[in-house]
Structure 1
């Protein structure tokens, strides 16, 4: 029995650390976190958000990475005091003492005891857990793609699979409102609002490391463009998201023009760019012109 359990343990561990299983687990958990937010916002829609710029700032009394909040504890406190809060920074942001990372709809600057209770509800630590925010799952998938492209591993297949997963998750992210909220009671305004990481920030944070590391790899860069093409199928009607995608595609094309000179590889990339033209003609043609107007530097 002991030998059997030992063999089962070794088999389970060896299977759990396989990169495909790790990626699939990250993908499922991250997608679930995104879907939970979508479901919450669909069940409790908010049409009008307050003008947060007019609210009163509350400064941080500690330094560290803001990772989350004890929502239930904070919601009960907000309800008792009849106040609303807006968290102005995204999760993972490094704050220093005195940084105004909260805003309140009432001026409570003289109530130091209340401010201390509010700040005690916030969590600062180093580790990143997907259950805290879906952005951490996206980051971990992106990091796997970058590590897969390292010379010691040299696994572009894993990088491409990670890129495809990122594109699916970013498409799901488009369904989330720019402002997230909590402490919601039916037919009442939320008491707690969050700065949701913007679509533009997600593109930058998750594709920039990969773009910089794999910009000379035609196979990976072609698949990055294909991933953006798939995102555009959904984002094309969303003006802000579409502009974010094309802004980033411009950066991708600039890197390609500097680092990919093989005519065959460039033709494959050109074909992918023309596929984007069929989705968004005007901006797609500008992108193709940018690619064709600047010949590779080494040519």
Structure 2
């Protein structure tokens, strides 16, 4: 698992200014402590030294911090690993299986996942999409997302940590108003797109699923000085079967794997804003 500062029996780096960790078995996240950035160039971070690594369920807070503090300080590259015991499964093609992966929804987030490996993969992917959405930047919707996706035993602590992370100063750095809304004429973009999943461990009521993702984060619209950039990361979610559904018990995030950027022409800020407004997000199923 990743080398984080820890609570309880966990230990790790303590020198990272972006480190505020939850307790044992709670979701861990690095939180921003500064509001200053040193530039907002259009370059895309490529290595672990080009941004501060965020560990936790704030999926696109990783990209948002790099976006707000472009060219920031030191980072570390976190690895992810599964627990021992239970069945060990490798990667599987994300093809239709014929089994309905979800039976309902809680708000905008799917719920009622199957009590098997397929259901765990679908849950982990949908949770990554929700936790990487722009709704995480608004206090009310953020709390609703955390309550929907997480084991009740970790919700209160995590909500408190996230409220600290998404401080007024941090939101201002990203270019948002204090309530998490975008300024008039601009569109804030924060989306996570699962590329693939892997069941690292599954045993009865517990599963560890890794979700390889790409994401978009930035401000689109005429006059934007903080362009939408892409990020690549893998989030490892430890899931628990509780309340007749899969919920996140803890998670960690690592940068990459990141492919070589293609030769596509970068679209204008207005084109990106139009695409975001014209193309809605989608849920993940297999």
| Bigger Rg, structure 1 or 2 | 1
More helix by share: 1
Q: Whose RCO is larger (CA < 8 A, sep 6+)?
A: 2
What is the TM-score when the length of structure 1 is the normalising length?
0.30
More strand by share: 2
